[in-house]
């Protein structure tokens, strides 16, 4: 960003590209599975919130990180976070810049399951195998039905 001739325009274009990508993922038939084995911060946290299924290791952590940088959240964070954890917890994360450990993220519904790092590849393969057996039309319709209540608000 610092090397860009116009950092402000570059940052805006980057944010717009991220938002368009996440919108396409949300509207696609593709099931987005994310694996977190470290920090999911900023846009990475937004991607996690936009995912259909999240597997994390106990060492994972989650934070919006935007207010610490002096900017408002993007990457779908301000849209998805209140729907996932509720307004009060979303405010705590965004306004106070709280970082969640993996267990709290699981308890709050941000993560579907915690898996030991040594079991991560095996568990991911099992999940993908289950998803491959579901007809694509059923996945697409299910994703759309899950998203509709959010879009109608």
SS3 category, 54: strand
Cα dihedral sign for 145, 147, 151, 153? positive
User: Is 19 exposed, middle or buried (CB count within 10 Å of its CB: 0-12, 13-18, 19+)?
Assistant: middle
Q: What is the DSSP string of 31-44?
A: --EEEESSEEETHH
- The whole model's pTM is what? 0.84
> Over its length of 153 residues, how does the chain's per-residue pLDDT go in tens digits?
678 788 788 878 888 888 888 888 877 778 899 999 999 998 899 999 999 999 999 999 999 986 666 677 777 888 889 989 999 999 999 988 889 999 999 999 999 999 999 999 999 999 999 999 999 889 888 888 887 666 665
């Amino acid at each position: 960003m610092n090397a860009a001739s116009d950092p402000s325009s570059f940052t805006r274009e980057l944010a717009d590209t991220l938002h368009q990508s996440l919108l396409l993922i949300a509207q696609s038939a593709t099931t987005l599975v994310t694996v977190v084995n470290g920090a999911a911060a900023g846009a990475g946290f937004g991607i996690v919130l936009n995912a259909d299924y999240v597997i994390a290791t106990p060492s994972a952590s989650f934070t919006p990180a935007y207010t610490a940088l002096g900017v408002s959240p993007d990457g779908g964070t301000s849209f998805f976070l209140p729907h996932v954890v509720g307004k009060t917890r979303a405010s705590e994360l965004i306004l106070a810049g709280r970082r969640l450990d993996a267990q709290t993220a699981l308890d709050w519904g941000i993560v579907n399951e915690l898996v030991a790092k040594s079991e991560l590849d095996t568990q991911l393969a099992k999940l993908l195998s289950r998803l491959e057996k579901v007809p694509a039309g059923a996945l697409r319709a299910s994703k759309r039905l899950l998203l509709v209540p959010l879009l109608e608000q």
